[in-house]
Amino acid sequence: MSLTLQFIPYQEIENLSSLGRIRKLLNIVKEKKIVLLEGRLKKEEEAELIKTTMEEINQDFKGIELAVIYPGTQNLDFVRKLRVQFINALLGDRQGLTIVGPASIIKEIKKDPNRIQLLTLEPSKRQSGKKR
């Protein structure tokens, strides 16, 4: 079994409309690839991504798994907190990493503050949607 990860640098979505961004991500995910997007969508775009995903769910496309990783400041001392906040403010949505994958392949993305786990479905189960 193999998984394809496709990296999208932030500048590839920077000048796209919200719709364009969502389209780009969903098109790749529908090719059964996992997107690693540099940076983040806006909060409203995340909600829009879920809405569009719901509109397009069918026999072959069961939806997405989504995770956004963003440097938090919870466990830092004051000086380091300020530094991270400064960098976050400077880089805006360019900061962080967004992972989007097809739900038919990724069962769950577990995200503790310091660790990301992609739990995949066994290949046998992945087929089941296609047989019908």
Partner 1 sequence: MLSVMKKFVNKVFRNLFRKKSVLKIGLYGPPNGGKTTLANRICMDWLGEEMGVASPIEHETREVQVKEQINIKSGNREISFSLVDTPGIATKIDYENFVRKGLSEDEAKQRAKEATKGVIDAIKWLDNMDVVIVVLDATRDPYSQVNITIIGNLAARDIPVLIVGNKVDIRKADVKKIKAAFPQYDVLGISAKKGTSIEEFYEALFVLAG
Contacts with partner 1, residue ranges (CB under 8 A): 42-44, 46-47, 50-51, 53-55, 57, 62-68, 74, 103, 109-113, 128-129
User: Measured from the CB of residue 55, what is the shortest distance to partner 1 in angstroms?
Assistant: 7
Whichever of 54 and 79 has its CB closer to partner 1, that residue is 54
- Angstrom distance (rounded) from CA 93 to CA 10: 9
How far lies 88's CA from each of 51, 78, 85, in Å? 27, 15, 5
93-103 burial string, b = 16+ CB within 10 Å, else e? bebbbbbbbbb
Supply the minimum distance, in Å, between the C-beta of residue 57 and partner 1: 5
| Shortest Å, Cβ 84 to partner 1 | 15
